[in-house]
């Protein structure tokens, strides 16, 4: 009986492995077993293994390893709430931003003008120049903000300028070419 029992498992093992091998070979080589590709959706996406870690739970008792002082040590500046130094802190030495002298003034109400040169006006087909025509030609980025025309280059034809600030040299060159400047 022991011989029969000992023989049976080995026979069944052989049979199962031979059947399993033939099935796997059939699956790999057979063209009829190609499955339709599944569509990738956002719910299927997961982070790469090992790229995410669980949150540090500090101050939850001595057994956690980060209890009592929560990994900050005893006392001191870095143990306090918001405990880090300001960006210019130099360990108590007088910081650079307080050692250097301060000079000058920055006007908070300054308005930057968009600059267009006379040489750029050659790209325009019309002789009428306004912020809208300069914007449609791609010479300025915002049609609503201030635009100033500078005198670099020459006025190749007579222009009619409306709604722009002009430098003195640009004004002289446009008037010399027979152009008009309207407010």
In this predicted model, what pLDDT tens digit does every residue of 26-49 receive, in sequence order? Answer: 555 555 667 778 899 999 999 999
Whether 114 shows a pLDDT value over 90: the answer reads yes
Beta partners for residue 117, in sequence order: 150
Whether 181 shows a pLDDT value over 70: the answer reads yes
Whether 135 shows a pLDDT value over 60: the answer reads yes
Return the pLDDT at 84. Answer: 87
Return the pLDDT at 9. Answer: 52
Classify residue 44 by its DSSP letter: G
**Residue 89 near residue 95, CB atoms below 8 Å:** yes
User: What is the per-residue pLDDT across 84-107, written as a single tens digit (0 to 9) for each?
Assistant: 888 999 999 999 999 999 999 999
Whether 132 shows a pLDDT value over 80: the answer reads yes
**Which residues contact residue 172 at a Cβ distance below 8 angstroms, ignoring those fewer than 6 apart?**
151
Whether 52 shows a pLDDT value over 90: the answer reads yes
Return the pLDDT at 125. Answer: 85
Q: How far apart are CA 72 and CA 51, in angstroms?
A: 25
Return the pLDDT at 19. Answer: 53
Q: How confident is the model at residue 127 (pLDDT cuts 50, 70, 90)?
A: confident
Whether 129 shows a pLDDT value over 70: the answer reads yes
Rounded mean pLDDT, 125-139: 91
What is the four-CA torsion angle of 55, 57, 62, 65, rounded to 10 degrees? 20
**What pTM does this model have?**
0.47
């Amino acid at each position: 009986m022991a011989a029969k029992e000992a023989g049976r498992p080995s026979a069944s093992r052989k049979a199962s492995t031979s059947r399993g091998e033939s099935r796997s070979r059939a699956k790999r080589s057979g063209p009829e077993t190609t499955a339709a590709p599944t569509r990738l959706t956002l719910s299927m996406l997961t982070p790469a293994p090992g790229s995410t870690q669980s949150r540090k739970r500090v101050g939850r008792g001595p057994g956690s390893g980060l209890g009592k002082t929560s990994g900050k040590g005893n006392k001191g500046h870095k143990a306090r709430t918001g405990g880090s130094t300001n960006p210019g802190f130099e360990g108590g030495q007088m910081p650079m931003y307080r050692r250097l002298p301060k000079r000058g003034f920055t006007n908070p109400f300054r308005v930057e003008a968009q600059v267009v040169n006379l040489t750029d006006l050659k790209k325009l087909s019309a002789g009428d120049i306004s912020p809208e025509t300069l914007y449609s030609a791609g010479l300025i980025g915002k049609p609503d903000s201030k635009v100033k025309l500078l005198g670099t280059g020459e006025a190749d034809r007579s222009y009619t300028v409306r709604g722009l600030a002009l430098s003195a040299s640009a004004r002289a060159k446009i008037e010399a070419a027979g152009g008009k400047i309207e407010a």
